Amino acid sequence: MIYSYGFANYFGFKEGAEVSFELNSRVPKDVSFNREVATILGVKGANGAGKTNLLKGLGFLLDFCAYSFRRDVSEFIKADPYFDSQEPSDFYIDFKSGDYRYTYELGVSTKEVHYERLFRKSIKLVEGKSKGRKVCVFERKFNKIVKRLDEISEIDVISLRENASLISTAHNYNFSSSSRLLKDVFNFFSMHISNVIYTGMNDFAQDLDSIHKVSEFYNRVPEAFDFVKDMIKKSDLGISDIEIHENQNEKGEKYYYPLFRHEIANDYHFLTIFDQSSGTKSLYVKLQKYWYVLTLGGTLILDEFDLNCHPFMLPKLLELFESPESNKLNSQFIFTSHITEVLDKLTKFRTYIVNKENNESFCYRLDEIPGDLLRHGRPISPIYNEGKIGGVPKL
């Protein structure tokens, strides 16, 4: 579970950005659902303000810590500094895994890791009080480990790479006696799905190959398919059922595809996915990602999550992460949206605004705005449309 994350000197954010999921005791129960950390967080702002980069920073951090060792030794680190800055880009994330709360810090240029640090503190309660103190798990300076706990002494034999994190490297060394600590931390970073890459949004493809892969997954995992069918039937008034069918291509290889049942009077017809609306096609592919994160835990990061979806459908998707019944693992969902009405669902406690001045991006959570302009229970969208809280284009 993520408490907060941030970065500085990264793309358009010169001085940096801090994004907090934390909810204090003053947050109403119909927003917090008795959680100390939000499970949904929305980002609004004008085109070019830096919304995608705010998500990209989180996606980069999670991906780098989990998978950077798999990349080619000569591949550059995909973290661009602010314009022509020669200083490293700095990142941090504060998160919980198991019985510990961790803080991870990273400084990188496009060529190498400058520093990497991990701290932890026990969050077990003993007689109502927090146990333990914050300790340094390891500290790395360039390609040298300068500090580490005894319980991860196996990392002493690691040959660090300039373009890979210690966490990713240690995981791929596959130590026979690898500590639980490093496994838990790696698992946290690996449990994420994002449609934001180095170059921006990469929408989950709806091409034939992607449809076949998703259909094969649904055929193999009926619980996921039931979830998807239920959501699509609620959103598309013409569909009464979906079936997965099997066929073979010219090479004799199996592939799977969906057929959508449409009832007409006392009869019915099956149509292919290419006969469906763009919204239905999008949901068919994307809902696999929702199911995966809700079922296994982790973080879903979606730029323009409202793409191809009717506005009335968006609250239903968000409620999947709000409800303790559908989100038993407290999985988290952070996204951008161009539909203003989503602000009224999020409230000021779960909305970030991104602005830009003199080509420098900055962000703030709406409950940071002082005064009573934004009162809980009153719609935010009219105030946003009037330009009173920022994040709108100057036309």
Q: Do residues 39 and 322 touch, judged by C-beta distance below 8 A?
A: yes
Q: What average pLDDT score do residues 130-147 get?
A: 91
d(CA 129, CA 75): 47
pLDDT band at 129 (very low <50, low <70, confident <90, very high): low
In this structure, how many other beta carbons lie within 10 angstroms of the beta carbon of residue 313?
17
How would you list the strands of the sheet with 144-148, edge to edge?
17-20, 2-8, 89-97, 100-108, 113-122, 135-141, 144-148
Helix-strand-coil percent breakdown of the chain, rounded to 5?
Answer: 30, 30, 35
pLDDT band at 394 (very low <50, low <70, confident <90, very high): confident
- pLDDT tens, residue by residue, 83-108: 999 999 999 999 999 889 999 999 99
Q: What average pLDDT score do residues 252-256 get?
A: 94
Residue 17's nearest CA partner among 25, 30, 28, 5 is: 5
Q: What average pLDDT score do residues 303-316 get?
A: 88
- For β-strands 332-336 and 40-45, DSSP reports them as parallel
Residue 285's nearest CA partner among 385, 222, 386, 215 is: 215
pLDDT exceeds 90 at position 294 = yes
Percent of the chain with pLDDT over 90: 83
pLDDT recorded at residue 27: 95
d(CA 126, CA 117): 28
The structure's pTM equals: 0.95
Kindly report the average pLDDT of the chain as a whole number.
93
- What three-state secondary structure class fits 355? strand
User: In the beta sheet, which residues pair with residue 129?
Assistant: 126
pLDDT recorded at residue 308: 84
In this structure, how many other beta carbons lie within 10 angstroms of the beta carbon of residue 253?
9
Residue whose token pair is 């003199």: 358
Q: What average pLDDT score do residues 222-250 get?
A: 92
* Beta strands in 98-153, from DSSP E residues, in sequence order: 100-108, 113-122, 125-126, 129-130, 135-141, 144-148
In this structure, how many other beta carbons lie within 10 angstroms of the beta carbon of residue 74?
7
Boundaries of every domain in the chain: 2-191+297-385, 208-284
pLDDT band at 384 (very low <50, low <70, confident <90, very high): very high
Class assignment of domain 2-191+297-385?
alpha beta
- pLDDT tens, residue by residue, 13-30: 999 999 999 999 999 999
pLDDT recorded at residue 127: 55
pLDDT band at 234 (very low <50, low <70, confident <90, very high): confident
pLDDT band at 125 (very low <50, low <70, confident <90, very high): low
pLDDT recorded at residue 128: 58
Q: What average pLDDT score do residues 334-342 get?
A: 94
d(CA 274, CA 290): 22
* Beta strands in the chain, from DSSP E residues, in sequence order: 2-8, 17-20, 40-45, 89-97, 100-108, 113-122, 125-126, 129-130, 135-141, 144-148, 192-194, 196-197, 200-201, 241-248, 254-264, 267-272, 299-302, 332-336, 351-357, 360-365
Q: What average pLDDT score do residues 355-365 get?
A: 96
d(CA 270, CA 272): 7
Percent of the chain with pLDDT over 70: 97
User: In the beta sheet, which residues pair with residue 362?
Assistant: 355
d(CA 244, CA 225): 9
pLDDT recorded at residue 203: 84
Q: What average pLDDT score do residues 138-166 get?
A: 95
pLDDT recorded at residue 42: 98
pLDDT recorded at residue 130: 58
pLDDT exceeds 90 at position 192 = yes
d(CA 88, CA 120): 24
pLDDT exceeds 80 at position 295 = yes
